[in-house]
Amino acid sequence: MDRKKTLIRAAALALALLVLLPFCGCGNRLKFSKGGLTDTKKGITYRFVSGCYFPKAVSEEVYATFKHGDVSLDYFPIEGLSPEEWLVSETGDVVYSGSDRLPDLKEFGAESMLICYNSEVIISFAEITDPGFISEVIDAYYAEGEPKSPNYDSNTYRLMFSSPKYPALYYMLYLVSYEGGTLLCESGRTGVDAGTLFDDYIEDYVYPEDSQ
C-alpha cells in the first residue's frame, strides 16, 4: 500500500473565499419552492442534496441569487457540470435539479481518497489510491453498530473520495479522532467506529491551531 504522505493546498475547495469575489449575479433569482429552490427565470427547481457532495472546483461568476427577507446568498456553477442541473452556494450548500437518485458512497465508485484537515482552506496531507484500503473504509462506514459520539477533545478531518463516474465532485465524510478512537461520520457529531484504519495517517500530525 502506498502511504506516502503529501501536502497539497486545495485552493479550489476554499468555498469560503467566494464571498469575497467582486462579481454580481447574471440576473437569475432563486426562491423557496416545492421543498427546494426554483429559478424564477427558467422555472428549474433545485433540491438540496446531502452535505456529502462537495465540488472540486467552482466558477468565479455568480449564476443566481437567493433572497428571502434579510438573507441573500449567491449560487455558483460547479466546473464541469451544467448550472441548470448543479449549483453551490457561497456557504457550500449543493443543490441539484435532476431526477436521478444520487449515489451513496457504496455506489459512488471511489478510486482515490484525500485525507484533509478540516480547516477553512482545506489542506490534504495524504492521498490514498489503494482499492483495498478504500474498500475497508467504505465497509467500516456501513458496518452495523451503535452510533457513537466523540467527546469535545477531538480533531476532525475530511475524507474526500474521487470517482471517474463523478469527476466534478467529491464524496465527503468526516473522520473524528478522539481519546476513545476514531469515527467515520457524515456530520461530525455521531459516527461509526473506524478502528485502527487511520492510525498510520493521523497519529503523526498535530492539528493546525488556526484550523479548529
Q: What is the pLDDT of residues 9-24, one digit of tens each?
A: 343 444 444 443 444 4
- Cell 427547481, located at residue: 45
Band the pLDDT of 189: cuts 50, 70, 90. low
C-alpha cell at 22: 467582486
Of 74, 96, 118, the last residue of a domain is 96
When pLDDT is cut at 50, 70 and 90, the band that residue 152 belongs to is low
Evaluate if residue 96 carries a pLDDT over 90: yes
Q: Are residues 190 and 110 in the same domain?
A: yes
Q: Where is average pLDDT lowest: 37-46, 48-57, 63-72, 172-181?
A: 172-181
User: Where does a domain end: 96, 126, 153?
Assistant: 96
Backbone angles phi, psi at 132, to 5 degrees: -65, -45
Task: Look at residue 6 and tell me whether its pLDDT is greater than 70.
Answer: no
Residue 29 CA to residue 11 CA, distance in Å, equals 28
Domain containing 156 equals: 5-12+103-211
- The reply to whether 117 and 39 lie within a common domain is no
CA distances in angstroms from 149 to 160, 180, 184, listed in the order given: 21, 10, 10
| Average pLDDT of the chain, as a whole number | 83
Domain boundary among 96, 124, 140: 96
Residue 78 near residue 169, CB atoms below 8 Å: yes
C-alpha span between 33 and 50 (Å, rounded): 18
Q: Same structural domain for residues 194 and 151? A: yes
- Rounded average pLDDT over 150-163: 86
Angle (CA) 199 197 159, round 5°: 90
Total structural domains within the chain: 2
Integer Cα distance of 195 and 56 in angstroms: 29
Is the domain of 143 the same as that of 198?
A: yes
Q: How far apart are CA 158 and CA 151, in angstroms?
A: 18
Instruction: Let me know: does 52 contact 7? Beta carbons within 8 Å.
Output: no
Handedness of CA 15, 16, 21, 27 (dihedral sign): positive
